[in-house]
Structure 1
C-alpha cells in the first residue's frame, strides 16, 4: 500500500515536471545556451519565440542577405532517451537530440537561399540560388561531422585581381564528407559550365572553418585566397 502511494506520488511529480517543461518559453534557451551558440562571426540569433517544444528562431547568417527563420516541433522518445524534432521554415529536416550523450544528429536537411559573400575587400561572391542538402550531420561537444552537398547557380565572383575583374563561374558544387579520425568534415569545391575554373578545399570543425580556393580565368594568373 505504501509502495503504491509512493509510486503514485512520484508519477504525479514526473507528470508535473513534464508539463512544466512542455510549457517552458522557448526564449528560456537564452539563459542556458552558451554565448557561442547565440552569436559568432558566422551567425547571430535575433529572437526566439514560442514554447520549448514548439517554437521558432530568427537569425542572420554570414553571406546570406536575408534574415532566416527556423521553426521546430519536438516530442519525447522515452525508449531511446532522446528528443525528436522536425524543422521547417528556412531549414527543413529532422534533428534527434540525445541529452545524456551530449549529441545531436540531423538528417535530410534542406536549405535554399541567395548568397552574397565578401571574403575581404578584394573578393566578392554572389549567387542567385544556393541549395544545400545535408544527408547526415553529427554535433557533439568535441566533433562536427557531416555528409552533404551544395549547389550554387549563376555564381559570380568579382575581384580586381581577375581578368576580367568580374567572372561567371556557372554552377559551383561543394561536397562534404566526414573525417572521423580528426573529428571534422572535409569539403571539395568545383564548378562547371564556365570558362573560369574554381577549385578548393574546406575543413569544418567544431570551432573553426578554414579553407583555400583557387580561381583561374583563361589567359590570367590564378587567384588564390584562404580563410
Structure 2
C-alpha cells in the first residue's frame, strides 16, 4: 500500500514537473520570438521583386508552396504556407519556380542588406521595404520591380543625393508633390556617396530602346507601379 502511494506521488510529481517545464518552454518561446512589426510605427511594408536572382547563402528555412503568391504572403506575415508562425521575421525570400520551394531570410540582399546574390533564371526574389503612410496610402499595394545592373540611358529628370536605395525610392514617390516631377523609376548607385539617385519620368516600357545593361558601376533600376505613382501623397 505504501509502495502504491509512493508510486502515485512520484507520478503526480512527474506530471507537475512536466507541466512546469511546458509552461517555462512556452514562456521562453514568447520571450525569444516576440511579435514585432515589420516596419516602424506609421509605416507599412510593400513588396519589391527581382526576377532571375537568388540569395547566395543557403536558407535555414525552406518549405513547399504551390504558387509564388503563397511565398510572398508567407514573407509578408512571417508564417509558413499553413499559417503557422516562422521562427524569424522574414525580410526577404525567394521562390523557385522549378522546385516550388520558398526560402525565407531575416536579411535582404545588398545594398538594402548584407546578403549576396547570384543569377538563377528559375528564381524570383522577394524583399519587403518600408514606406511611410504619409507618403503612400495603405490602399496602394503595387509591387516594386527592381532590375540590378540596368539603366535607362540619357533620361534623367533629376539627380539627387540619398543615404540609401529605399530613400531614393521614397524621393521618387514624393517627387510629384515635392519636385513637380512625375517620377516612375529610379537608378540608384550605392557605391557613390553623393548624386547617387536618378529620378526618371520614363520607364523601361516607355523608353525600351534606352534600357540597357550597365557593367561599369554597381546600380539598381527600380520601377514604381501605376498605383504608386497615382496614389502618392508626397508629404
Q: Please give the TM-score of this superposition, normalised by the length of structure 1.
A: 0.25
Q: Which structure: greater strand fraction?
A: 1
Greater Rg over alpha carbons, structure:
2
Q: Which structure: greater helix fraction?
A: 2
Higher relative CO (Cα under 8 Å, sequence separation at least 6) belongs to 2
Q: Please give the TM-score of this superposition, normalised by the length of structure 2.
A: 0.25
